[in-house]
Amino acid sequence: MSPVVYNDTLEAVNHILSVLDVLRQFKSLDTVLDRILLEARRLTCADAGTIFMVEGGRLVFAHVHNDTLFSDEDVIKHGYLKASLPIDDTSISGYAANHGVVVSVDDAYAIAPSFPYQFNTRFDERTGYRTRSILALPIKSSTGSVIALMQIINSQSPDGQHVPFSAEDQTLLNLLAGHAASFIENAIVTRELVLRMNKMAELRDPSETGMHVQRVGAFAAEIYHRYAKLRGVADDEMKRRKDLLQIAAMLHDVGKVGVSDLILKKPGKLTFEEFETMKLHTLFGARLFAHPVSELDAMAYEVALYHHAKFDGSGYPGLVQNVMEDSLVGLVPLAGHDIPLSARIVSLADVYDALASRRVYKPAFPEDMTLAIIRDGTGKHFDPDVVSAFFDIHDIILAIRDKFGNIASNQLLNT
Ligand code: C2E
Ligand code: SIN
Ligand code: SIN
Ligand code: FE
Ligand code: FE
């Protein structure tokens, strides 16, 4: 992280304005939260920090940064941490969220015993990290309710000395948080719309639907991240495409809205005719995005249309000229890098999830069997480079499954 060096408040405010312009282009909640935390830390030269979402009356970990301890991969994995804190007065963040106030602590280990909250030393004990200054800052919606909470840690002076968060830090962060809230709200609206579009398609039983698409979205985003990094894609471009792909991937099967429930929920194997009908979900999905008004629409179109294309050309629907036609007869096969990268990635993410999960027509397969099927499909069903990126990040894939798994109870972090 390179801190922002500013000479006066005007420069800092100008920087915040430029940050808001960057935030404006992101659509997924994950990207927005990660970026807000990064920019808050840059503004105050803070070594570490956590951003939480308020969900179900708790503070749910969204992202955790720590420049001293964490590699890039650690940061990504912590983005899929399944843990939350109660919103009550016992923790610093809980207190700040509970009362909607900023809490500033100069030394985490010197909080007077008379205070309701105390610092939880568990992270420091486990890692050897030494937390000093802490600033906990609620992010409020336009109606004034706390929707997220940012806790940033260990502010440093330009020469690397530990310093408390200053009054000016608080003012600047309040300004950032006040404006960033609307981007969080927009991202929530987008996510809800995407989940509702899937619900409309009645894909699976209602308890499963949201989780499946969130897993596929996260798998695809992280596979792309790894793929793009290995190819030297510039960081800004990578983050932008990753953000779009996460949402586009969640929409890959919305075309199932056009397929009968009798086929979708059939407990057994589909007949030849039924499967021919099922194949049309690629066209139906693409039709929703056939008049793109945004880059997201363009990517959602590619993904919906080609997520069942196979690398060796044996998938469906083939090269489509007109998504308004209801037939796949006579289409030229589409193979290799003629298949858009987004679709090659979602194809792997979707099949991995289908294999690893229970479906009305199949049980969940164990991980070794799932991975064996993917290895066997390399170069035939899947792009070998995409498979390779997938195996590189297998532990992140498992963290995503844990976060968006079907086990209802969260692992609770009590302070
Ligand atoms: P889906 O359940 O999301 O599965 C996505 C893809 O995962 C499948 O695309 C296939 O490539 C892969 N896959 C799923 N199960 C298996 C498996 O047991 N073994 C292997 N090797 N691959 C598997 P596909 O075949 O084009 O199917 C598209 C969609 O059609 C499926 O989406 C599902 O909704 C439906 N479908 C496919 N086969 C059946 C079936 O036998 N019965 C029912 N009711 N639906 C089916
Ligand atoms: C969204 O809600 O942004 C996804 C739908 C679309 O852009 O077409
Ligand atoms: C892309 O980023 O879509 C181009 C890379 C490829 O198609 O292999
Ligand atoms: Fe599909
Ligand atoms: Fe699918």
> DSSP states of 63-85 as a string?
EEEETTT--HHHHHHHTT---EE
At residue 413, does pLDDT exceed 70? no
| Alpha carbon of 167 to ligand 2 centroid (Å) | 40
* Under 8 Å between Cβ of 117 and 92: yes
Confidence category of residue 406, pLDDT binned at 50, 70, 90:
low
Of the candidates 54, 38, 55, 57, the residue with the CA atom closest to the CA atom of residue 46: 38
Measured from the alpha carbon of residue 304, the closest ligand is 4
Backbone angles phi, psi at 149, to 5 degrees: -140, 135
- Residue nearest ligand 3's atom 3 by CA: 341
At residue 281, does pLDDT exceed 90? yes
Give Cα separations from 292 to 165, 289, 295, 300, 319 (angstroms).
46, 6, 7, 9, 19
- Residue nearest ligand 3's atom 2 by CA: 341
Average pLDDT over every residue of 332-359: 96
| Alpha carbon of 395 to ligand 5 centroid (Å) | 22
For the entire predicted model, the pTM comes to 0.91
Active-site residue (options: 77, 239, 242, 256): 256
Q: Where are the alpha helices (DSSP H) in 289-393?
A: 295-306, 341-356, 367-376, 384-392
* Under 8 Å between Cβ of 117 and 95: yes
Average pLDDT over every residue of 39-64: 96
Both tokens assigned to 133 = 């200054």
Confidence category of residue 185, pLDDT binned at 50, 70, 90:
very high
Q: Is 97 in the pocket of ligand 1 (CB under 6 A)?
A: no
For residue 299, the model assigns a pLDDT of 98
- Ligand 4 ion local residues (Cβ < 5 A): 253
Is 269 assigned a catalytic role?
no
| Alpha carbon of 205 to ligand 1 centroid (Å) | 16
* Under 8 Å between Cβ of 224 and 249: no
Backbone angles phi, psi at 202, to 5 degrees: 45, 50
Average pLDDT over every residue of 211-240: 96
* Under 8 Å between Cβ of 315 and 308: yes
For residue 208, the model assigns a pLDDT of 55
Residues flanking ligand 3, CB < 6 Å: 337, 340-341
Measured from the alpha carbon of residue 314, the closest ligand is 1
Of the candidates 350, 352, 349, 341, the residue with the CA atom closest to the CA atom of residue 385: 341
